[in-house]
Chains A and B, each alone.
Chain A
Amino acid sequence: MRRGLLPFGVAIVLLGLGACGTGEGRSAAAVVAAIETNPVTLDPRVATDALSLHVTGLLFNALVRVDDHLRVLPDLARRWEQPDDRTVIFHLRQGVQFHHGRELTADDVRFTFESLQTIAPAHTPLLQEVKEIRVLDRYRVAFHLKRPFAPLLYHLTVGIVPADLASQAGFGQAPVGTGPFRFARWGQNEQVELEAFPGYFGGSPRITRLRLRIIPDATIRFLELKQGNIDLLLGSLPPEIVSLVDSLPGVQTATGPSSNYTYVGFNLRDPILADVKVRRAIAHALDRKGLIAHLLRGQATAATGLLFPQHWAYEPQVVTFPFDPERARRLLDEAGHPVRKGGVRFALTFKATTGELSRAIAEAIQFQLAQVGIRVEIRSYEWGTFYADIKSGNFQLYVLTWVGIADPDYYQYVFHSDSLPPLGANRGYYRNSEVDRLLLRGRRTSDTGGRKATYSRIQQILAEELPYISLWHELRWVAYKARIRGFSLMPGGDFIPLKDVWLDDP
Chain B
Amino acid sequence: MMGRYLLRRLLLLLPVTWGVSTLVFLLIHLTPGDPVEVMLGETALPAAREALRQSLRLDRPLPEQYLHFLHGLVTGDLGTSLFSREPVFARLLQALPATAELAVTGLGVALMIAVPLGTVAAVRRGSGLDHGSRFVALLGVSVPNFVLAPLLILAFAIELNWLPVSGRGGLGHLILPALTLGMAFAGILSRMVRASLLEVLGQEYIRAARAKGLSEGRVILRHGLMASVIPVITIVGLQFGALLSGAIITETIFAWPGLGRLTLQAIQARDYPLVQGCVLVISFGYVLVNTATDLLYAYADPRIRYE
Contacts and interface: CB of A to CB of B under 8 A. Distances in A.
A387 B37 contact: yes
A432 interface: no
Interface in B145-174: 150, 153, 157-158, 161-173
Interface string A366-391: 00000000000000001111011101
B226 to A, nearest CB: 14
Interface residues of B, number: 61
Contacts of B204: none
Contacts, number: 167
Contacts of B254: 220
B84 A384 contact: no
Contacts of B112: 7, 10-11
Interface in A50-77: none
A223 B158 contact: yes
A341 interface: no
A3 interface: yes
A21 interface: yes
Contact of B162 (A19, A121, A122, A423): A19
A413 B42 contact: yes
B47 A124 contact: yes
18 contacts: A7-B116, A21-B172, A37-B265, A38-B265, A40-B83, A41-B83, A121-B40, A121-B45, A188-B257, A213-B255, A214-B255, A216-B252, A223-B157, A227-B158, A384-B270, A385-B31, A387-B33, A391-B42
Contact of B41 (A21, A48, A384): A48
Interface string B112-155: 11001000000000000000000000000000000000100100
Give the most central of A21, A125, A219, A229: most B CB within 10 Å: A21
Q: Is the interface of A mostly helix, strand, loop or mixed?
A: helix
B46 interface: yes
Contact of A226 (B40, B158, B162, B163): B158
A-B residue pairs, 5 tightest by C-beta: A21-B172, A18-B172, A384-B33, A121-B48, A189-B257
Interface in A199-245: 213-217, 219-220, 223-224, 226-227, 229
A122 B47 CA distance: 11
A422 B217 CA distance: 74
Interface string A386-419: 0111010000000000000000000001000000
B157 A227 contact: yes
Contacts of B113: 7
Given A124-B47, A128-B45, A223-B157, A20 B33 contact: no
Contact of A46 (B49, B85, B168): B85
Given A385-B33, A423-B46, 4 more contacts: A121-B49, A121-B51, A229-B165, A388-B33
Given A20-B172, A121-B49, A122-B48, A216 B261 contact: yes
Contact of B164 (A10, A121, A229): A229
B217 to A, nearest CB: 6
The bracket for how many chain A residues form the interface is 35 or more
A216 B260 CA distance: 13
Interface string B70-95: 00000000000001111000010011
Nearest to B249: A217
A173 B84 CA distance: 8
A170 B86 contact: yes
Contacts of B172: 17-22
Contacts of B41: 48, 122
Contact of B116 (A4, A123, A128, A189): A4
A80 to B, nearest CB: 24
Interface in B1-50: 31-34, 37-49
Given A18-B163, A40-B84, A227-B158, A190 B257 contact: yes
A424 B268 CA distance: 22
Interface string B231-270: 0000000000000000000001111011001100100111
B38 A387 contact: yes
